[in-house]
Amino acid sequence: MAVVLGSIALAAEAQSADLYRYVNDKGITVLDRSVPPQHVSRGYEVLDGDGRVKQVVPAALTPEEREAARAAEREQQQRRSADETLLRLYSSVEDLDRAYSRQVQQIENLIATSETGILTLNNQREDLLSRAAVQERAGRKVDPQILRELAEVEAEQQRLQRLINNNRQDIATVNDTFANRRQRLQLLLAD
């Protein structure tokens, strides 16, 4: 009786034992009771006694694939963080539009201030040129102080013009940034 029970138990164990399906070095699919260590990294399937797949163990990632997965995870984390910040800053698209308008207005105010400065410098320059012309018409050499002041005024005009150009570029950047934020916020608020 014990022998019969033992053989029934062995038959049941053999019936329920897992099989492993993997591809060997020659590209042949193999069914076995274990997966050799050199084939584990390529992935394999665990089958039940009836040959049904119980589990799929994927192939190990290559170093390049691991790095790509890490980079994708970092990018996804940055996107989540940026989205959280966006939702914290703006409760609605209208809030974002108001912030955009304020930022553009501030830059436009800087441009207007610089343009006013250039107009003032133009008046100073005209005055200096007039004084220099009076000296030349009188047959005298132009006072070096006038020439220095004239050079300083022209240098300041050029600096202000560069500042205006940079501010206009800033407006273009703000337009792009807020357009992207607006699109993303609309998407987030729609969810």
Tell whether 53 and 126 lie within a shared domain. no
The whole-number pLDDT of residue 59 equals 87
Enclosing domain of residue 71: 62-90
DSSP H stretches of helix in the chain: 2-16, 37-40, 63-89, 93-137, 144-190
The whole-number pLDDT of residue 16 equals 58
Token pair of 52 as six digits: 């049904």
Tell whether 48 and 81 lie within a shared domain. no
Tell whether 19 and 78 lie within a shared domain. no
Tell whether 116 and 185 lie within a shared domain. yes
- pTM of the entire structure? 0.62
Per the domain annotation, does 162 fall within a domain? yes
Per the domain annotation, does 3 fall within a domain? no
Cβ atoms within 10 Å of 17's Cβ, excluding its own: 11
The whole-number pLDDT of residue 5 equals 39
Tell whether 167 and 102 lie within a shared domain. yes
Angle between helices 63-89 and 93-137 (to 10 degrees): 90
Per the domain annotation, does 147 fall within a domain? yes
Tell whether 169 and 97 lie within a shared domain. yes
The whole-number pLDDT of residue 7 equals 43
Task: Name every residue whose Cβ is closer than 8 Å to that of residue 47 and which is 6 or more positions away in sequence.
Answer: 18, 19, 20, 21, 31, 53, 54
Q: How many domains does one find in the chain?
A: 3
Per the domain annotation, does 7 fall within a domain? no
8 Å CB contact between 50 and 64: no
Give the CA distances from residue 29 to residues 38, 45, 47, in Å, rounded to whole numbers and listed in that order: 15, 11, 13
Tell whether 143 and 119 lie within a shared domain. yes
pLDDT tens, residue order, the chain (191 aa): 444 434 444 444 445 578 999 999 899 999 999 999 988 888 999 999 888 999 999 988 888 988 999 999 999 999 999 999 999 999 999 999 999 999 999 999 999 999 999 999 999 999 999 999 999 999 999 999 999 999 999 999 999 999 999 999 999 999 999 999 999 999 999 97
Pairing label, strands 29-32, 19-23: antiparallel
Per the domain annotation, does 149 fall within a domain? yes
Per the domain annotation, does 75 fall within a domain? yes
The whole-number pLDDT of residue 50 equals 85
Tell whether 95 and 163 lie within a shared domain. yes
Per the domain annotation, does 10 fall within a domain? no
